[in-house]
Amino acid sequence: MDPKCVHHVEFGVQNGLKHVQKFLSQYRFRLAGTRITPGAKQWLVCSHAVRFLITELTKDIAAISHDPYVHPWAFPSNPVSKPQGDSVFNVALRVSNIEGCVNRLAKEKVQLVKPLQTISDECGSVRVCTIKSCVGNVVHTLVDDSKYSGLFLPGFDISEDSHHVFIDKNDKETSVPSSPSLNDLHHIDHVTFCTNCGSSASVISWYERCFGMKRFFINSNENEEEGFVIRGDDIGVRLKAFEYWKCAETGVSTADKANGSVKFVIAEALPEQGPNQVDMFLSNHGGPGVQHVGLHTGDIVGAISQLQGKGVQFNEAPYTYYTEVGRLKEMVAMGMNVDLLQKNGILVDTEHDEADQEKDTSVDGPVSQNNVRYLMQKFTRPLFDTDTFFLEVIQRVGATGFGSGNITALWRSVQAYFNEKGSEKSPTESSER
C-alpha cells in the first residue's frame, strides 16, 4: 500500500448549483468539469491542486447504486435513502497498488460500498472502488490513475467553454461561468474529523491497520495517551492526528508532493464537558464526519484579504489574542507586519519541537529569515445551513505541526461563533458518551 495523496474531496449537497456558485464567486475556484447521469449531477471545482467534487443526487435509487462514482452520504441506519442534509463525506485517496490495498482492507473486514472496477475513456483508464471508513458517514474512494492522462476521471466533461449548462426538469437553463482560479489556495493541508467522545484511539488504530498511516504529534505539548487537550469554561476538546508515512513519498514529483503529505486530525469532546462545538457538530450532522478541510496558501494575508473582499465570512480571533504577553514581540521578531495580521484577524504561532517531527521543507516551505518555523491560520464560518462544515486557510513557513496557541484561539473562535448565535440548535449528548 502506497497512498500518495488526496485525489479529491466530495461534497454531498441538496443544491449543487448554489455551492458551485459560492466556490466560483466567493472562493475564486474554477469550474473544471461536469458530469450528469440518471443518478446524480456533479461539478468539479478546482483551485490549483485542490479538487472539490460537488454531488447532487437524483431520486433514482437504482441509478445511484449502479453509478461507479456515486454513493449516498446518509448514515448506516438508512444507507439507501436520499440524504436530507449536506455533508462533506468522501476523502478520495490516490493509491499506486489498488489491488493490494483492497486485499489488505478485505483482511480487516472493511466494507466495500463500490466494487473495484476499471473505467476508461480516450485519455486512458482508472481503477476505482469505494470503502466505508470507521468515522460516521465518511467513505474513501480509492483511485489508481497511473494509466490516465486526463484532468480528473473518465466520464467527466472537461470543457473549455465559457459556460457549463445543466437542464432541469422544466427545461430551464442554469449556467455557471467557468474561469481560471484566481486565488492563492494551493493544496489540501489537512482534514479534520469530529468523532464521538473516547473514539480517537480506535480511529487512529483503524487507519494504521488499513492504510499504514502513522500517528502525528500535533505539537510538543501533546500527551501520547491524552492527545492535545483544550480545556476552559466554554470549551473542552481533545485533538489527535495521523498522516501518510512520509517515507512513502520518496520519488514523488514536486507537483504531486505539494499535496502529498496530508494530515488527518481527530476532534472529540472531553467527558462531562457539557454542550460544545463538537457535540453540536455531531447533533447537526447526524453523527461523526468531516468538520473542516485546511487549505494551504503561500500568502495568507493576500488570500484572506481577497476572500473577505468577495464576501467570505471568517470566525474572528479573541480580542485579547494580539495583546497576550510576548505575542507582539514574537511577531515582530519574525519580521511580521502586525497591523496587517491584526486587520485580517490572522493567527500566528511558532513551532519549537525540533526533534518531534520529521521536517519536510519541500512541502511546508523554508524557515523564515530568522530561522523561525511558524504557521498562520484562520477559520471560515460554516458553509452549510446546518452549521457543520467549514474551511481553514493556513500558511506554513517551515512548520509541520500545529501551534498550541493557535489551536486554542482557533477553536475558541468557533465556540464564540456558536455562542453568539445563541445555540439555536442545542446539541444533544452523544449516546456513546
The grid coordinates of residue 334 equal: 519574525
Same domain, residue pair 107 and 229: no
Tell me, yes or no, whether 433 lies in a domain.
Answer: no
Same domain, residue pair 172 and 189: no
The pLDDT value given to residue 405: 74
Same domain, residue pair 172 and 192: no
Q: Are 95 and 102 in contact (CB under 8 A)?
A: no
The pLDDT value given to residue 181: 58
The grid coordinates of residue 8 equal: 479529491
3-state secondary structure of 397: strand
Query: From the first residue on, what is the mean pLDDT of each consecutive set of 10 residues in the chain (433 residues)?
Result: 73 97 96 96 96 96 94 66 80 93 95 96 97 97 95 88 42 48 86 96 96 88 87 82 61 36 89 81 94 96 95 87 76 83 88 50 51 88 94 92 77 77 49 39
Same domain, residue pair 142 and 191: no
Same domain, residue pair 171 and 250: no
Structural domain range at position 153? 5-177
The rounded distance, in Å, linking the Cα atoms of 346 and 376 is 6
The pLDDT value given to residue 293: 98
Domain boundary among 147, 177, 207: 177
- Residue (of 243, 238, 247) closest to 201 by Cα position: 238
The pLDDT value given to residue 167: 36
Same domain, residue pair 170 and 216: no
Same domain, residue pair 166 and 247: no
Q: Are 422 and 325 in contact (CB under 8 A)?
A: no
Same domain, residue pair 173 and 196: no
**Could you tell me the CATH number of the domain that includes residue 66?**
3.10.180.10
What pTM, to 2 d.p., does this model score?
Answer: 0.87
> Beta strands of 80-224 (E only): which ranges?
87-94, 112-121, 124-132, 139-144, 163-167, 173-177, 185-195, 214-216
Same domain, residue pair 108 and 156: yes
- The identity of residue 49, as a single letter, is A
Same domain, residue pair 169 and 196: no
Q: Are 145 and 94 in contact (CB under 8 A)?
A: yes
Structural domains in the chain (count): 2
